[in-house]
Amino acid sequence: MRVLIATMNDGKLRECERLLADVPNLEFETMASLGLWVEVDEDQDTFEGNARKKATEVAAAASIACLADDSGLEVDALAGRPGVYSARYSGPGATDARNNAKLLQELANVPDARRTARFRCAIAVVGANGELLAEADGACEGRIAQEPRGSHGFGYDPVFVPDGYGQTMAELGPETKNTISHRAQAAAALVPLLRDRG
């Protein structure tokens, strides 16, 4: 089964390939390998809705099955923000550094006990004909650190401390992250669904 991973984010691409490596007969294509660029307006109000929309539009453009995810950070003290706006939280031209800086500024007066948060991820796999083949979601609970720490990962990893750990996700490194992350949980739920379709 050929599946296009619908992302231009190299970090996310590497994670997906590692997390789904146990699915037999699964051959990954990338946007780069197909010379494909599809701009999808992620305008849905849930991670699941954005994942389905992205997978559907990219699968139609590529004429092969497509796996897409939408993920982000929900902070309880901010009423769930940044949520589906995580990647563009700091506005036009948002970068990981600017997003993290804005988040820490908004939480400047919030004590550690109230800095609870979670990473959430929804994954959808859609066939070339538009059929929803599989979907799954996952979450990783934790809290927001007082300052960025660590050089691994991407996104909000430098400011997110998962429950049970004293280090940020960016300090823990890929081996640990790939067992506890929101994307790891969603991928683990997706693996048996893809195996059944194989």
- Kindly report, residue by residue over 65-95, the tens digit of the pLDDT: 999 999 999 999 999 999 999 999 999 999 9
For 40, the token pair is 């999808």
In this prediction, residue 47 carries a pLDDT of: 97
In this prediction, residue 169 carries a pLDDT of: 95
User: What distance in Å separates the CA atoms of residue 158 and residue 11, rounded to the nearest whole number?
Assistant: 14
In this prediction, residue 198 carries a pLDDT of: 56
| Whole-prediction pTM | 0.89
pLDDT 10s digit of each residue in the chain, 198 long?
889 998 877 777 777 778 888 888 888 888 888 888 888 898 999 999 999 999 999 999 999 999 999 999 999 999 999 999 999 999 999 999 999 999 999 999 999 999 999 999 999 999 999 999 999 999 999 999 999 999 988 899 999 999 999 999 999 988 898 889 998 899 999 988 888 775
Q: What residues are annotated to the active site?
A: 70
User: What distance in Å separates the CA atoms of residue 73 and residue 87, rounded to the nearest whole number?
Assistant: 9
For 196, the token pair is 């059944």
In this prediction, residue 27 carries a pLDDT of: 83
DSSP characters for 35-82? T---------SSHHHHHHHHHHHHHHHHTSEEEEEEEEEEEGGGTT-B
In this prediction, residue 161 carries a pLDDT of: 98
Q: Which amino acid is at 42?
A: E
In this prediction, residue 137 carries a pLDDT of: 96
Please enumerate in sequence order all residues whose Cβ is within 8 A of that of 119, keeping only pairs 6 or more positions apart, or say none: 71, 72, 73, 74, 139, 140, 142, 156, 160, 181, 182, 183
In this prediction, residue 31 carries a pLDDT of: 84
CB-CB contact of 48 with 135 (8 Å): yes
In this prediction, residue 66 carries a pLDDT of: 95
In this prediction, residue 143 carries a pLDDT of: 98
